[in-house]
């Protein structure tokens, strides 16, 4: 076999760790290394990373993964990058030094800025141009915040001295020794500055945030040669040929290439993305429209929805309720009983998202009887992950008019066989669990490998996609409908609780202002 070009490097730069995986032509993992790095919480609700630590940890794990199998640089055909999305870094073009820490996607420091934007009536316009709903998650307000708070930053930016990038852009800049300032469509589509229809930075939004256009990277397809590594940085010249945000990379890694193909990642929360082909679909239920990773110059779109609390509910059973020793143990309890005995748990700990949208809803348990046991309760929590994912699936199906073929799954909680079977039952859909669940890194590798001819075409990589296990629906339509109706009632209860609380607060507000008035009259 040819000793050259045997592997693709995937750099998977996530929120809590930097990971590097080397893949061979069959899509097998031949080496892997990862390292956690510091999470910085300067104030409640604020989250930062040190950009230099992002870079050094990513470079370090890459060297480690190569060294672990004694791989030489001439055995690497290309590098693909996937990254935590939206996280914002601004640096000096000359020195390469960041002017502030990376402001992480989770950071809420610009929430007021976004509220003001909504008050000024920008919501519809943002949705129409960017496919997003105004939110502090996205990069736009984070850039504005750094420019507002770092001395002379805006003037320097206007003079063209500063560069902005999401984490992919920052890594490519460093890998190329500061020669290349680019991003890809998928990452650009999460900045809230990019017109996903016209495929350009939007001047009107840039003006609103007073962000100079000169700071922004060039936007390219997700699979193309962006540049080459600088030999002084990594010891060799290797093409950097793939780039996509983590969720889009996982959609690609799962080979969801056709309209209607959908994947769900069961992690702390759930991220569901559906390929909608060349047509962007505008959601009426709060799903986001975003650009999917694709090959060539053809731009494809995806609908995206998320569940805030998924695996986190299992962690809650383990850590706060102290009902489990480990998350995988939940499966034993689920299979020890034949159903939940009528119990439903809605884990709306921080509100409830699509398609219900109430930030005031809170966790709710309904249907308790004297016969309810711990097993029923644990099972109800595990089932809640599937019900929430099903709500997203139904919304996507309705809005896209696309019939779903199957649901591809990944993320930590997809290891739970009970959960996968229940998802299949409740959604009446085949569930496909791949043998390689590192689908995010795999997606980045595929994008890079396709750009340099390591893989011929998408058909060839689909052949790599080995399905480890398939789950097929096993319950009757009646049973499914009954269970789903129960879930909807449980969600309504959680929403009603929030509504009653709001009424109480209004009444208390009115009561206190009446009391104030009485006091005034008495005086
Ligand atoms: P993230 O990337 O969001 O940190 P992971 O994909 O690593 O998440 O998945 C971890 C989550 O999956 C945790 O919330 C954990 O509770 C849950 N989890 C892991 N294994 C299981 C299991 N066998 N059954 C149910 N939940 C699980």
Supply 187's token pair.
Answer: 């990452």
pLDDT tens digits for range 237-293: 999 999 999 999 999 999 999 999 999 999 888 999 999 999 899 988 889 999 999
pLDDT of residue 3: 61
pLDDT tens digits for range 158-204: 999 999 999 999 999 999 999 999 999 999 999 999 999 999 999 99
How many C-beta atoms surround the C-beta of residue 106 within 10 A?
16
Q: Where are the alpha helices (DSSP H) in 289-349?
A: 311-319, 330-336
For residues 233 and 431, the answer to whether their CB atoms sit within 8 Å is: no
413 CB under 6 A from ligand 1?
yes
Nearest residue by C-alpha to atom 7 in ligand 1: 412
pLDDT of residue 522: 47
Prior bond of 355 cis (ω within 30°): yes
Q: Name the residue of 311, 409, 441 whose CB sits within 8 Å of the most ligand 1 atoms, as the mutation to test its pocket.
A: 311
314 CB under 6 A from ligand 1?
yes
pLDDT of residue 376: 98
Question: 194 alpha carbon to ligand 1 midpoint, in Å?
Answer: 32
110 CB under 6 A from ligand 1?
no
Ligand 1 atom closest to the Cα of residue 331 is 24
Ligand 1 atom closest to the Cα of residue 382 is 25
d(CA 37, CA 493) in angstroms, rounded, equals 41
d(CA 176, CA 170) in angstroms, rounded, equals 10
pLDDT of residue 523: 41
pLDDT of residue 465: 73
Q: Under the phi-then-psi rule, with left for phi > 0, alpha for psi from -120 to 50, and beta for the rest, what region is 195?
A: beta
Question: Token pair 């019939």 is at which residue?
Answer: 403
pLDDT of residue 2: 54
Question: 325 alpha carbon to ligand 1 midpoint, in Å?
Answer: 14
328 CB under 6 A from ligand 1?
yes
Spell 293-312 as b/e; 16+ CB within 10 A means b: bbbeeebbbbbbbbbbbbbb
* DSSP helix/strand/coil, 306: strand
268 CB under 6 A from ligand 1?
yes
Supply 121's token pair.
Answer: 């009536």
d(CA 342, CA 132) in angstroms, rounded, equals 38
177 CB under 6 A from ligand 1?
no
Q: Name the residue of 314, 335, 410 whose CB sits within 8 Å of the most ligand 1 atoms, as the mutation to test its pocket.
A: 314
CA dihedral 400, 406, 407, 410 (to 10 degrees): -140
Question: 166 alpha carbon to ligand 1 midpoint, in Å?
Answer: 26
pLDDT tens digits for range 339-385: 999 999 999 987 888 888 887 788 999 999 999 999 999 999 999 99
Q: Confidence class of residue 5 from pLDDT cuts 50, 70 and 90?
A: confident
pLDDT of residue 519: 53
Centroid of chain to Cα 199: 21
**Residue 521 predicted with pLDDT over 70:** no
Ligand 1 atom closest to the Cα of residue 314 is 16
pLDDT of residue 107: 86
For residues 150 and 31, the answer to whether their CB atoms sit within 8 Å is: no
Nearest residue by C-alpha to atom 15 in ligand 1: 311
pLDDT of residue 361: 86
Ligand 1 atom closest to the Cα of residue 310 is 14
Q: How much is the CA Rg of the chain, to the nearest whole Å?
A: 24
Residue 329, Cβ density class (10 Å: 0-12 exposed, 13-18 middle, ≥19 buried): middle
**Residue 4 predicted with pLDDT over 80:** no
Nearest residue by C-alpha to atom 14 in ligand 1: 311
315 CB under 6 A from ligand 1?
yes
**Residue 516 predicted with pLDDT over 60:** no
Nearest residue by C-alpha to atom 8 in ligand 1: 267
Mean pLDDT of all residues belonging to the chain:
92
């Amino acid at each position: 076999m040819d000793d050259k070009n045997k592997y693709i490097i995937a750099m998977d730069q996530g929120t809590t760790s930097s990971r590097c995986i080397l893949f061979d032509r069959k899509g097998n993992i031949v080496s892997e290394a990862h390292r956690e790095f510091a999470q910085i919480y300067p104030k409640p609700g604020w989250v930062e990373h040190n950009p230099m630590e992002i870079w050094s940890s990513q470079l370090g794990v890459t060297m480690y993964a190569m060294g672990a199998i004694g791989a030489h640089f001439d055995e690497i055909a290309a590098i693909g990058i996937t990254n935590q999305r939206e996280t914002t870094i601004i640096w000096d073009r000359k020195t390469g030094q960041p002017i502030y820490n990376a402001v992480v996607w989770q950071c809420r420091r610009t929430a007021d800025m976004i509220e003001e934007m909504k008050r000024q009536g920008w919501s519809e316009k943002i949705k129409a141009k960017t496919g997003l709903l105004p939110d502090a998650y996205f990069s736009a307000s984070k850039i504005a915040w750094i420019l507002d708070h770092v001395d002379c930053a805006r003037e320097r930016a206007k003079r063209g001295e500063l560069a902005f990038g999401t984490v992919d852009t920052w890594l490519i800049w460093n890998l190329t020794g500061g020669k290349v300032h680019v991003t890809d469509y998928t990452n650009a589509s999460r900045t809230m500055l990019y017109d996903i229809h016209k495929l350009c930075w939007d001047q009107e939004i840039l003006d609103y945030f007073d962000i100079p256009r000169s700071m922004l990277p060039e936007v390219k397809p997700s699979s193309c040669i962006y540049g080459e590594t600088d030999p002084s940085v990594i010891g060799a010249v290797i093409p950097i040929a793939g780039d996509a945000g983590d969720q889009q990379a996982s959609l690609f890694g799962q080979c969801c290439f056709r309209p209607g193909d959908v994947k769900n990642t069961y992690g702390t929360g759930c991220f569901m993305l559906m390929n909608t082909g060349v047509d962007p679909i505008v959601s009426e239920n709060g799903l986001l429209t975003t650009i999917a990773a694709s090959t060539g110059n053809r731009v494809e779109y995806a609908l995206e929805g998320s569940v805030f609390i998924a695996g986190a509910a299992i962690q809650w059973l383990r850590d706060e309720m102290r009902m489990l020793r480990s998350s995988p143990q939940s499966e034993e309890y689920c299979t020890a009983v034949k159903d939940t005995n009528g119990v439903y748990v809605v884990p709306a700990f921080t509100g409830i998202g699509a398609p219900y949208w109430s930030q005031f809803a809170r966790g709710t348990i309904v249907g308790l009887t004297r016969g309810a046991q711990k097993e029923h309760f644990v099972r109800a929590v595990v089932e809640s992950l599937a019900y929430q994912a099903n709500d997203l699936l139904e919304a996507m199906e309705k809005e896209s008019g696309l019939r779903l073929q199957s649901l591809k799954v990944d993320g930590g909680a997809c290891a739970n066989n009970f959960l996968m079977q229940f998802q299949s039952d409740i959604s009446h859909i085949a569930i496909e669990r791949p043998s390689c669940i590192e689908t995010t890194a795999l997606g980045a590798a595929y994008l890079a490998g396709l750009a340099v001819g390591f893989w011929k075409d998408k058909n060839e990589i689909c052949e790599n996609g080995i399905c480890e296990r398939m789950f097929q629906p096993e319950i009757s339509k009646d049973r499914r409908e009954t269970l789903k109706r129960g879930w909807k009632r449980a969600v309504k209860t959680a929403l009603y609780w929030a509504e009653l609380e709001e009424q109480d607060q209004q009444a208390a507000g009115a009561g206190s202002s009446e009391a104030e008035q009485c006091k005034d009259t008495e005086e």
